[in-house]
Chains A and B, each alone.
Chain A
């Protein structure tokens, strides 16, 4: 796979057509039974920002993401995108690829196109997006023959096909091996730079958060306990000293050292 990193400002038409959405959360609370998972979250994410959310397992990261993606409704509080409620402009990439096993790779990507266009146009659009994730030649295959990393790339292509203005990822790389993870991180960073959507990534891997995000949120006891800007130049290299320092600060917070 070749990954070319484009300048953030490159290709102006593209950035206009799929510009990111600004997100605004006010007093967002979520409860399951007697358990309060999110306790009044206030959060502003500017358009096009890349946000990473980290936190201990079970602290409510997925819950928060599902609310932002509009899959669930909060107990109380409001979530607005550019002043409106979340709609088709948001896509959530799940922990699992969730491809339809009975649909070819191309048809799976077409799910992201909705009902737009005729057959030939849809097929062409699907192959085009698959090319962006380096899988243009796999459109005719069954998902079952792909590797875990390739399946996640197809899921990414499906999400991209719908031109999301906000793309949320729930530990999308959790099940991948180390090298595939790094490849996927580069790919996600690249499509984000190409398309200019707002990105929110949940991860339990702090170094991944530092490698990808402009801003890292630590979720703890139902609130944002730490909000940290990552001001490192892109493309980022793994093992960079400044990155390691930020990583250390977050780990200290998580492990209460």
Chain B
């Protein structure tokens, strides 16, 4: 029973939506019935259009995330370990952070046109900061006493990094990872909606021109599902990697 209860309300809303559409309370040009959205989903899946676009969007998202996240992680680690590196780079990075990355869209289009580079660049830029800030914070807050213990037991710098600094920073890095995943989808949605010739955002904008509201609604649901999927994977990874931490341990 406890497993079903959280799903009762969404189900009720879905039924209400379906009923309102069937009885003509909502015009299909505004919001088509769930069954019609389902039909659109079926159509797009069979024609292969859905997978092509999902693949394009997922590729942009992951590549942008890998680049931005990788650079953010590297700077977070570097600045967390070396005061000198932090003094040189942190202020600059924090200044750039104050510019909302989506505000750069016009500039980015000028630089890269509307091709792949522009979107990957924006995603990378958006993902960079949460990963950077949280990695830095994580490395900084590693227990000094454990580091002292490691040194006293003759661990090399390499061993200290792998066995104490990184595991100690991991909970914070995961916070950055999950936050970054959210920003990744958000950035991609905006970028694909504004300018694209493929991808889920393009699928939605293209459908809008032909007044295919069911496809538009379905595209939104696909974004939601992909976001949920990414978060679920991150949570699962978190549970596996942080099994030692009673906060994350199952049960």
Contact = CB atoms under 8 A, between A and B. Distances in A.
Contact of A111 (B148, B153, B168): B153
Question: Chain B interface mostly helix, strand, loop or mixed?
Answer: helix
A26 to B, nearest CB: 24
A114 B153 contact: yes
Interface in B204-228: none
Contacts of B155: 111
B250 to A, nearest CB: 12
A94 B163 CA distance: 19
A133 B88 CA distance: 49
Interface string B124-153: 000000000000000000000110111011
B164 A100 contact: yes
Nearest to A87: B154
A162 B244 contact: no
A96 B152 CA distance: 14
A18 B152 CA distance: 19
A213 B183 CA distance: 61
A243 to B, nearest CB: 33
Given A98-B145, A98-B149, A100-B163, A114 B154 contact: yes
A83 interface: no
A98 B146 CA distance: 6
A102 B152 contact: no
Nearest to B163: A100
A112 B153 contact: yes
Contacts of B154: 88, 114
B152 A69 contact: yes
Contacts of B243: 142
Interface string B224-244: 000000000000000000111
Contacts of B148: 71, 98
Q: How large is the interface on B (under 10, 10 to 19, 20 to 34, 35 or more residues)?
A: 20 to 34
Nearest to A92: B152
B167 interface: yes
Contacts of B153: 111-112, 114, 158, 162
A144 interface: yes
Nearest to B168: A102
A158 B167 CA distance: 19
Interface in A67-117: 69, 71, 88, 91-92, 94, 96, 98, 100-103, 111-112, 114
A137 B188 CA distance: 51
B5 interface: no
A150 to B, nearest CB: 15
A162 B153 CA distance: 9
B152 A101 contact: no
B246 interface: yes
A148 to B, nearest CB: 15
Interface string B54-85: 00000000000000000000000000000000
Contacts of A114: 153-154
B150 to A, nearest CB: 8
A91 to B, nearest CB: 8
The 6 closest A-B pairs by CB, nearest first: A102-B167, A98-B149, A102-B244, A142-B244, A144-B246, A111-B153
Given A102-B168, A142-B243, 13 more contacts: A71-B152, A88-B154, A98-B146, A100-B163, A100-B167, A102-B242, A102-B245, A103-B244, A111-B150, A111-B155, A111-B163, A114-B154, A162-B153
10 contacts: A91-B152, A98-B148, A98-B149, A100-B146, A102-B167, A102-B244, A103-B167, A114-B154, A158-B153, A162-B153
